[in-house]
């Protein structure tokens, strides 16, 4: 996301933005390694077998840098939006291939950063980047490629903002009964799009298998169920600040678990 940095996440932090996120720095370092990783390049070249006679197939033939794919996802004017065509293929691949999702995330980072900046006060001292990046993964994994075939990048960004900052979970917080965190995965979900919550459960399951501590996963389940760090703090008999700090750590652990296998 001679080779020169091309995504705006590498530019100096704009005036008025929060401090540069530690997560963002890790993503930059990760991308610098991943983009020319031999394993990642081999994976990407195999996509031509799934998408013959497709713009993506032309891109991955003889691929030497994942930036070549990322650049192709930048907006193109004209009747035929090749950027949408390539992004749709990557979204389909991302359902089972973390590398495709990572390329999409790299493309979305500038827009995610810009949108997260607007929610700095909403998230108090929490790092909004650490909230919107996992939300972007959920947006990518649950995107409807059959019905939403245009303006894909903008739609994914909007979905991520919704998941990270706008989701209306607090309306049920006052009447929420305390439940064992482990019961979340087996419960029926009716608050918002079921596919997004199903993806959340899937992500946590994958993170557990990758070795993310149970404490982190239980905290994230509880936060999603209750929707308020303040109420979770009361239930756990700690301060809201402690909950926010532990939440940020948990989100970072989950995100790292989802992508580290790709970069290996």
Is 134 found in the same domain as 229?
Answer: no
Please name which of 248, 17, 12 lies closest in space to residue 117, comparing C-alpha atoms. 17
d(CA 164, CA 129): 10
10 domain residue, yes or no = no
| Domain count along the chain | 2
Rounded Cα distance, 191 and 44, in Å: 36
> Is residue 144 located within the same domain as residue 71?
yes
Integer Cα distance of 224 and 176 in angstroms: 12
Taking residues 135-154, what's their average pLDDT? 90
Select from 134, 124, 121, 125 the least CA-distant residue to 224: 134
Q: Give the integer Cα–Cα distance in Å for 243 and 231.
A: 10
Non-local CB neighbours of 46 within 8 Å, separated by 6+ positions: 60
Provide the token pair at 193: 């799009």
Do both 164 and 57 map to the same domain?
A: yes
Give the model's pLDDT for residue 14.
37
Q: Is 3 within the bounds of a domain?
A: no
Q: Are residues 151 and 259 in the same domain?
A: no
Residues 156-209: pLDDT tens digits? 999 998 888 766 433 333 344 444 433 333 333 333 334 455 567 777 777 777
- Does 103 map to a domain? yes
Is 66 domain-assigned? yes
63 part of a folded domain = yes
In a domain, 74, yes or no: yes
Domain assignment of residue 44, given as a range: 18-168
Q: Are residues 157 and 243 in the same domain?
A: no
pTM above 0.75, yes or no: no
Instruction: Choose among 263, 260, 261: nearest CA to 38.
Output: 263
The DSSP line for 127-160 is: -HHHHHHHHHHHHHHT--TTT--SSHHHHHHHHH
pLDDT in tens, 167-177: 643 333 334 44
Indicate whether 13 belongs to any domain. Answer: no
Domain for residue 111, yes or no?
Answer: yes
């Amino acid at each position: 996301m001679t080779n020169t940095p091309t995504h705006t996440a590498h530019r100096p932090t704009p005036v008025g933005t929060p401090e540069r996120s530690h997560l963002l720095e890790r993503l930059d370092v990760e991308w610098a390694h991943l983009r020319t990783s031999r394993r990642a390049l081999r994976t990407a070249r195999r996509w031509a077998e799934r998408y013959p006679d497709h713009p993506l197939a032309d891109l991955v033939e003889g691929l030497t840098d994942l930036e070549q794919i990322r650049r192709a996802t930048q907006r193109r004017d004209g009747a035929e939006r090749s950027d949408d065509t390539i992004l749709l293929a990557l979204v389909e691949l991302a359902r089972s291939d973390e590398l495709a999702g990572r390329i999409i995330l790299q493309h979305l980072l500038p827009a995610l950063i810009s949108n997260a900046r607007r929610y700095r006060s909403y998230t108090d001292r929490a790092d909004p980047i650490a909230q919107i990046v996992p939300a972007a993964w959920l947006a990518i994994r649950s995107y409807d490629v059959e019905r939403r075939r245009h303006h894909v990048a903008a739609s994914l960004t909007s979905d991520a903002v919704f998941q990270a900052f706008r989701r209306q979970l607090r309306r049920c917080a006052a009447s929420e009964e305390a439940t064992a965190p482990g019961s979340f995965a087996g419960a029926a979900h009716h608050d918002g799009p079921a596919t997004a919550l199903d993806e959340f459960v899937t992500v946590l399951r994958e993170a557990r298998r990758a070795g993310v501590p149970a404490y982190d996963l239980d905290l994230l389940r509880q936060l999603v169920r209750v929707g308020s760090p303040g109420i979770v703090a009361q239930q756990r008999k700690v301060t809201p600040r402690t909950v926010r700090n532990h939440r940020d750590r948990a989100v970072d652990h989950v995100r790292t678990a989802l992508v580290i296998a790709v970069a290996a």
